[in-house]
Structure 1
Amino acid sequence: MRTISLPTDEHWTQQICHVRDIPRITVNHLGVKYRTVEALQDVSFTLNSGKVTGIIGPNGAGKSTLLKGMLGLIPVSSGTTIYQNQPLMDQLAKVAYVPQRSQIDWTYPATVWDVVMMGRVKKTGWFRRFSNVSRKISETALERVGMSAFRDRPIGQLSGGQQQRVFLARALAQEAEIFCFDEPFAGIDQKTEAVIFEIFRELANEGKIVLVVNHDLGESIANFDDLILLNQGLIAAGSREKVFTQENLYRAYGGQVIFFQGKAA
């Protein structure tokens, strides 16, 4: 007769504590109003670390609004966003946020190196000299995105894909716990898209939270672990396989999208 050892109470306690210790963001009944127009209403979901999560939905669905509302960059009319039992907006030092390229002043007289070093300001403090450690971290970030050769180039002279790589490097230099990107793939080449997704995967494997507003429903969807599907309210949230279904897409887009099952494989 074989003797089977059952897990002890201590074992189960350790397992439960391990689950509870996973960093997560909890969004509860979030709503945003622009004057009298409800841009987003009653959105709730949970983001776990170690995942690359995409926010998808039609134009005007509230994708960027959701991201900004979570971070406290715009006023919310209802709800909360909690990270590690505290409001996320009170912990922005732990967040690296990259806005849409259209919201950035590309005529500002800054070099690639200047932009990446901006990612070290929160760690260093305003009007203080950057340490050698900060410089090394920024150099490593530039190398990681393949932009070291452009460090002295004015940011406005770069292509769209190169600019996006530089802002990704700035985000990496922040050494954040949460990475938020608003449509990082708009107007960039496929090579840069592949580089960015590879780094997103590395960040997730390091236990970071990676949240990405994405407008493309093509093959790039396969790079996301989880999805949040919106149309001014939450249609579905969870694993890619659970969310990216014909029924959910029809609810979000109506007859405006053709469903390809193979894209989510």
Structure 2
Amino acid sequence: MTNFTMTETAPIAVNHLSVNYRTTQALRNINVTIEPGSLIGIFGPNGAGKSTLVQAMLGLIPVVTGQVSWGDQPLASQRERVAYVPQRSQIDWSFPATVWDVVMMGRVRQTGWFHRFSVPSRRIAAAALERVGMSEFRDRRIGALSGGQQQRVFLARALAQRADVFFFDEPFVGVDQKTEAVLFQIFSELAAEGKIVLVVNHDLGESITHFDQLLLLNRELIDFGSRDRVLTPTNMTRAYGGHVQFFSAA
């Protein structure tokens, strides 16, 4: 049994995590503790291992060394309490599913495959759709939506899971400003509820100010903490090499 309740989220501890792709080292000896109640942005250049880190933490790819624990158990063994939204490029948008079908997938773990969804589950899914402003599209095919609308639907699916840990991989790619605002608003609300919210991002512009903490990565952990701590010239040079422009709030 874990030593925390559903309303008391424990930290996630990543210890000595290393991942190889054949002969290439994708991640090297990552050590970080992620506390609940913060919106965390995972940043780094292309090929830095950002998506790899998320997938390794969730047990979706094999690791060479290390472990990821949540409370007193491996994070990967508690997937029923984790919501994961992959990059849009990894999703088959031609699949003949409606918006409602996609959101209800967030209730499958609680209901079980081939079981009828309960009235409470349907209410939870409807509330999630309402929260992201997509209720009027519930009967629309998911492939017929814009990129921003699709991302909001998958956020609704994650909300319908009633998870305690949320992973979002590049959720702002190809979305409009309205959707970006909706996503950040809900991410912040989840963090305020004591959830763990990790977001892979590549934008070093003004949107970076929405994150409570930043995890800067380039195959190894460059730094982790507040924006002032992480966004230093030394760290940015280590991560990106040479000069890089980024937004810095006063």
Tell whether the structures are fold-level matches, with TM greater than 0.5: yes
> Pairwise mapping of residues 114-263 of structure 1 onto structure 2 (< 5 A)?
114-262=101-249
CA distance in 2, matches of 1:64, 1:102: 12
Q: What amino acid does structure 2 have at the position aligned with 1:37?
A: T
SS at match of 1:184: coil
Distance 1:91 1:215, change over 3 A: same
Contact 2:9 / 2:195 at 8 angstroms: preserved in 1?
no
The equivalent residue for 1:108 is: 95
CA distance in 2, matches of 1:85, 1:240: 30
SS at match of 2:39: strand
Distance 1:71 1:22, change over 3 A: closer
Contact 1:246 / 1:259 at 8 angstroms: preserved in 2?
no
CA distance in 2, matches of 1:259, 1:142: 34
SS at match of 2:83: strand
Question: Which of 69, 93, 102 is matched with 2:80 structurally?
Answer: 93
Distance 1:93 1:22, change over 3 A: closer
The equivalent residue for 1:84 is: 71
Q: CA deviation at 1:22?
A: 5.6
Contact 2:14 / 2:32 at 8 angstroms: preserved in 1?
yes
Distance 1:256 1:105, change over 3 A: farther
SS at match of 1:102: helix
CA distance in 2, matches of 1:196, 1:134: 22
Q: What amino acid does structure 1 have at the position aligned with 2:187?
A: F
Contact 1:119 / 1:174 at 8 angstroms: preserved in 2?
yes
Aligned length: 244
- Compare the two structures and name the one with the higher helix fraction: 1
CA distance in 1, matches of 2:143, 2:104: 17
Q: CA deviation at 1:242?
A: 1.2
Q: CA deviation at 1:261?
A: 2.8
Q: What amino acid does structure 2 have at the position aligned with 1:90?
A: S
The equivalent residue for 1:4 is: none
CA distance in 2, matches of 1:132, 1:260: 46
Contact 1:26 / 1:45 at 8 angstroms: preserved in 2?
yes
Q: Residues 39-59 of structure 1, C-alpha deviation per residue, up to 9 Å, x if partnerless?
A: 111011011110000100000
Q: What amino acid does structure 1 have at the position aligned with 2:74?
A: P
Identical amino acids, percent of aligned pairs: 67
Contact 2:17 / 2:28 at 8 angstroms: preserved in 1?
yes
CA distance in 1, matches of 2:243, 2:167: 27
TM-score for the superposition, normalised by structure 1 = 0.90
Consecutive unaligned residues in structure 1, runs of 5 or more: 1-16
Residue 47 in 1 paired to residue 34 in 2? yes
The equivalent residue for 2:21 is: 34
SS at match of 1:200: helix
TM-score for the superposition, normalised by structure 2 = 0.95
Q: What amino acid does structure 1 have at the position aligned with 2:110?
A: K
Q: CA deviation at 1:148?
A: 0.1
The equivalent residue for 1:8 is: none
